[in-house]
Amino acid sequence: MEQLTALVINFLDLSAEASPWLLLGLLIAGLMKAWVPSKILSKHLGQGKSAIIKAALIGAPLPFMLLWGYSRCNRA
């Protein structure tokens, strides 16, 4: 029972810590959907599987770069 309680507490803490970033991502995605024409995104990313691969290659390193920058700024 103690492990289940710890799991729930950790899940809630992680959710509370991640929620502002998720909301920021949703806000940016909504603004892009509203203001950036889909032709521009199609032009830069392409169509089909190649678009998915390009988007993944662009998006995957972003969290690591953010963590790297955060760790460099918070050195004592």
Q: Are 54 and 45 in contact (CB under 8 A)?
A: yes
What length does the chain have?
76
Rounded Cα distance between 28 and 34, Å, is: 10
**Residue 23 and residue 50 in one domain:** no
pLDDT tens per residue, range 16-67 = 988 888 898 889 889 988 998 888 877 877 788 888 888 888 878 777 777 6
Q: What angle do CA 30, 32, 36 make, to 5 degrees?
A: 140
SS3 19: helix
**Residue 57 and residue 31 in one domain:** no
pTM: 0.56
**Residue 5 and residue 20 in one domain:** yes
Range of the domain at 64: 37-76
Domain tally for the chain? Answer: 2
**Residue 32 and residue 43 in one domain:** no
